[in-house]
Amino acid sequence: MIRSLLAACVLLYVTEAPAQGKSVLGIELGARFLLPECGGGGTATTRACINSDPVVRKPWGAEEHHVALPIAGTPSYVRGELKVVTVKGIVESVQIGTWGIQGQGVVMSALTTQYGKPTRARQQKHPLSKEPTQFADWDMADFSVRFHGSLGSIDWGSIDVSTNRYRKLVSEHEQQKPGTSSK
């Protein structure tokens, strides 16, 4: 009886654990995008909300929304608003700006805690920094995480958490562009 109960608890933990990784700062990949609009003119908010910026519509059917986060509870490595990408109202990608090279150690630690050891990781010398830029990828069953410690500028980096379905949609669109070749 106790073994059965223990086995059931372990199975429940194992089946629930991956789903928790699909939540990015409270926004769930694969779920309907239901955040309220921020309202008011200020950028300070007490809850995550959609900024009133116009929605950017992409040719492959995606819509980009800018999401303001509350200061309380938001990790210190987050820079600015999130970009949440939806397709037919479903969250397919969450993109987070970071503080670049100065914050990349904290970001790597947080991502490794949440997703485990990266599938791929590398470092690259940056011409304006003594510290190299870190890059890492985590490939999960139905989504992936891409971290760039620097996006050219030493003080901007990014985290991109996207479903495999969305990455395929963007890739297919890129291959259809004139002047690009599919390899």
CATH number where 82 lies: 3.40.1000
- With a cut of 80, say whether residue 137 has pLDDT above it: yes
**83 bridge partner residues:** 66, 95
Question: What is the domain extent for residue 83?
Answer: 22-176
| Stretch 103-121: mean pLDDT | 95
**Structural domain count, the chain:** 1
| Full-model pTM | 0.81
- Give CA–CA dist 41/37, Å, rounded: 12
Question: Is 6 among the domain residues?
Answer: no
Q: Which amino acid is at 79?
A: R
Residue 59 lies in a domain: yes
DSSP reduced 3-state for 48: coil
Residue 123 included in any domain: yes
Higher pLDDT: 105 or 181? It is: 105
